[in-house]
């Protein structure tokens, strides 16, 4: 029998899966349809899921880049070769993390300077105090290009509080940097996950459950089929309000259409992505995706979803060394029809447990909540 150490994240998912009857079988399809376009497939490895000392060599058409720590979410800075990387602290422990850069051209991880000294923030709630910088713990991120071409970065922060932090992204010949520009604090004691910003200053953020609710009570809610979380909407004048018809089984990743009228929300324990019309304040479609984590939108408007494929009870990882190698898929979804394509189905080296898939030109970049690397694979020569 193989023995593995559970991370905090996997313990949570394991417990939830036990209670609500999650199995390795993919759930029934939703309103969208599947097109089988598997680009890369790696057979299961014979050894343990996370053997110590997994090197940083390419395998199965996937190229890893090591030296990161839990690079959970990624965004591309337009007009540059740089990706913003959110290095998350350990899930549910709120340990400190970092924001970093990754240069696509040089394949190098870079530090990212942050100016935390601003005393009169231009964005966010004017009453929101600056965070404890030493405890800063980023999770989901989003990058918004404002009408004046200013780049605004929104970051979910678990360090010492649950907050959304605002940063201005500056780029120059000397490099890129961040200037803290304010924050907003959701009411109550939420456990928030991912955020998407609006050009006019508002944003939406997913809440998976209330931190103040004992976990056994959260599990009991799920056992009864009751929603544990929802989506918050924040607007500069109105503050926070619960998005109508958004209460679900652990909302996770979130994205928005170019015209900002349609939201796309991943329901992790509900095994689906939902399409939400802001004008109707209602869900107008859904598509089945197993354990969907983050969702990103490419320049053509297509959605990219990282989907976890492991048996959450039998398959876990020890995280002392190297990557987590749990199986995952990358799914591309048409935002209009919700037709889906599985573009990558992978298990084994060099990377697993992808939490985000970000398409930049003809390459897809992968991040993870557990591990020491990001990775990428090319779409060159593939029929999409």
pLDDT digits (tens, 9 = 90+) for 134-168: 999 999 999 999 988 899 999 999 999 999 999 99
pLDDT at residue 224 in the model: 84
Looking up tokens 């931190």, which residue turns up?
211
Q: What is the pTM of this model?
A: 0.88
CA distances from 272 to 62, 210, 231 (A): 26, 21, 15
33-63: pLDDT as tens digits:
554 443 333 333 333 343 445 789 999 999 9
Q: Which tops the pLDDT comparison, 23 or 265?
A: 265
Six-digit token pair at 296? 């990103």
Is residue 297 very low, low, confident or very high in pLDDT (cuts 50, 70, 90)?
very high
Q: What percent of the chain is modeled with pLDDT above 70?
A: 83
Checking DSSP bridges between strand 108-110 and strand 113-115, what pairing results, if any?
unpaired
Rounded Cα distance, 75 and 86, in Å: 9
Tokens 């990882």 sit on residue: 317
C-alpha 242 chain-centroid distance: 21
Query: Using 50, 70 and 90 to split pLDDT, how confident is the model at 315?
Result: confident
Percent share of the chain, pLDDT over 90: 71
Tell me the domains of the chain and their CATH numbers: 8-378 (2.120.10.30)
Which residues have a Cβ under 8 Å from the Cβ of 120 and sit 6 or more positions away? none
Of 310, 318, 315, 351, whose CA–CA distance to 50 is shortest? 318
Q: For the chain, give the mean pLDDT.
A: 86
């Amino acid at each position: 029998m193989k023995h593995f150490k559970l991370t905090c994240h996997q313990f949570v998912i394991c417990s939830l899966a036990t209670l609500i009857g999650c199995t390795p079988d993919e759930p029934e399809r939703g309103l969208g349809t599947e097109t089988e376009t598997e680009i890369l497939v790696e057979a299961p490895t014979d050894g343990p899921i996370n053997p110590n000392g997994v090197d940083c060599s390419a395998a199965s058409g996937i190229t890893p880049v090591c030296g990161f720590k839990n690079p959970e979410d990624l965004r591309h800075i337009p007009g540059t070769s740089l990706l913003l990387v959110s290095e998350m602290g350990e899930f549910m422990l709120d340990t400190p993390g970092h924001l970093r850069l990754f240069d696509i051209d040089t394949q190098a991880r870079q530090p990212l300077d942050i100016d935390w000294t601003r005393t009169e923030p231009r964005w966010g709630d004017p009453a929101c105090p600056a965070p404890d910088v030493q405890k800063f713990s980023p999770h989901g991120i989003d990058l918004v290009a404002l009408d004046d071409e200013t780049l605004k970065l929104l970051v979910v922060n678990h360090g010492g509080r649950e907050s959304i932090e605002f940063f201005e992204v500056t780029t120059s010949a000397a490099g890129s940097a961040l200037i803290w520009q304010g924050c907003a604090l959701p009411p109550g004691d939420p456990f928030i996950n991912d955020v998407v910003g609006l050009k006019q200053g508002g944003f939406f953020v997913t809440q998976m459950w209330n931190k103040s609710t004992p976990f056994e009570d959260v599990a009991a809610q799920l056992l009864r089929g009751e929603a544990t979380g929802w989506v918050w909407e924040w607007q500069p004048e109105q503050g926070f309000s619960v998005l109508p018809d958004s209460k679900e089984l652990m909302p996770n990743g979130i994205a928005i259409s170019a015209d900002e009228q349609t939201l796309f929300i991943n329901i992790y324990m509900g095994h689906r992505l939902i399409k939400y019309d802001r004008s109707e304040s209602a869900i107008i479609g859904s598509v089945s995706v197993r354990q969907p984590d983050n969702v990103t939108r490419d320049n053509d408007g297509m959605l990219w979803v990282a989907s976890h494929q492991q048996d959450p009870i039998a398959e876990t990882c020890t995280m002392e060394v190297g990557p987590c190698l749990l199986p995952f898929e990358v799914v591309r979804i048409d935002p209009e029809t919700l037709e889906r394509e599985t573009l990558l189905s992978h298990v084994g080296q060099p990377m697993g447990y992808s939490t985000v898939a970000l398409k930049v030109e003809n390459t897809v970049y992968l991040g993870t909540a557990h591990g020491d690397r990001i990775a990428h694979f090319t779409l060159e020569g593939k029929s999409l």
